Chains A and B, each alone.
With several copies, the nearest count.
Chain A
Amino acid sequence: MAALAESKVLEREEIGRYGRQLILPEWGVQGQLKMKSASVLIVGAGGLGCPAAQYLAAAGIGHLGVVDYDSVEVSNLHRQILHTEGRVGVTKVSSAQESIQSLNSKVKVTPHHLVLNSTNALNIIKDYDVILDASDNVATRYLLNDSCVLLKKPLVSGSALRFEGQLTVYNYKGGPCYRCLFPCPPPPHCVTNCSEGGVVGVVPGVIGSLQALEAMKIITDIGDSMISKLLLFDGFSGTFRHIKLRERNPECSICGDDPIIKELIDYEQFCGSKPNDKERQKELL
Chain B
Amino acid sequence: MPLSVEIEFSGGAELLFNKIKKHKIELPDKMGVANTWTIRDLIGWIKENLLCERPELFVQGESVRPGILVMINNIDWDLVGGLDYVINNNDTILFISTLHGG
Task: State the A residues within 8 Å of B (CB).
Answer: 44, 46-49, 134-138, 141, 158-162, 164-166, 181-187, 189-194, 197, 199, 204, 230, 232, 234, 241-247
Q: Which residue of A lies closest to B68 (CB)?
A: A186
Q: Which residue of B lies closest to A25 (CB)?
A: B19
Partner of B99, one of A165, A187, A246: A165
Measured CA separation A194–B99 after assembly (Å):
10
CB distance from B52 to the nearest CB of A (A): 16
Measured CA separation A161–B97 after assembly (Å):
11
Measured CA separation A134–B96 after assembly (Å):
19
The reply to whether B10 and A193 form a contact with Cβ atoms under 8 Å apart is: no
Partner of B11, one of A134, A141, A166, A245: A166
The reply to whether B74 and A166 form a contact with Cβ atoms under 8 Å apart is: no
B65 at the interface (CB under 8 A from A): yes
Measured CA separation A253–B92 after assembly (Å):
31
The reply to whether B101 and A187 form a contact with Cβ atoms under 8 Å apart is: no
Measured CA separation A134–B102 after assembly (Å):
6
Please report whether the interface of chain B is mostly helix, strand, loop or mixed according to DSSP.
Answer: mixed
Residues of A within 8 A of B66 (CB): 182-187
Stretch from B25-33, B35-43, B75-83 that touches the partner: B75-83
User: Which among B76, B96, B101 has the greatest number of chain A C-beta atoms within 10 A?
Assistant: B101
Given contacts A162-B12, A187-B65, contact A49 B76 (CB under 8 A): no
Given contacts A232-B10, A243-B74, contact A187 B56 (CB under 8 A): yes
Given contacts A182-B66, A182-B67, A232-B10, contact A244 B101 (CB under 8 A): no
Partner of A159, one of B56, B71, B102: B102
CB distance from A250 to the nearest CB of B (A): 13
Residues of B within 8 A of A164 (CB): 10-12, 99
B69 at the interface (CB under 8 A from A): yes
Residues of A within 8 A of B56 (CB): 187
> What are 14 inter-chain pairs, A to B, with CB distance below 8 A?
A47-B101, A136-B101, A160-B99, A161-B101, A186-B68, A187-B67, A189-B57, A191-B67, A199-B101, A234-B10, A243-B71, A243-B74, A245-B69, A247-B79
Residues of A within 8 A of B57 (CB): 189-190
Convert B5-36 into 0s and 1s, putting 1 for each residue whose CB lies closer than 8 angstroms to a CB of A.
00000111000000000000000000000000
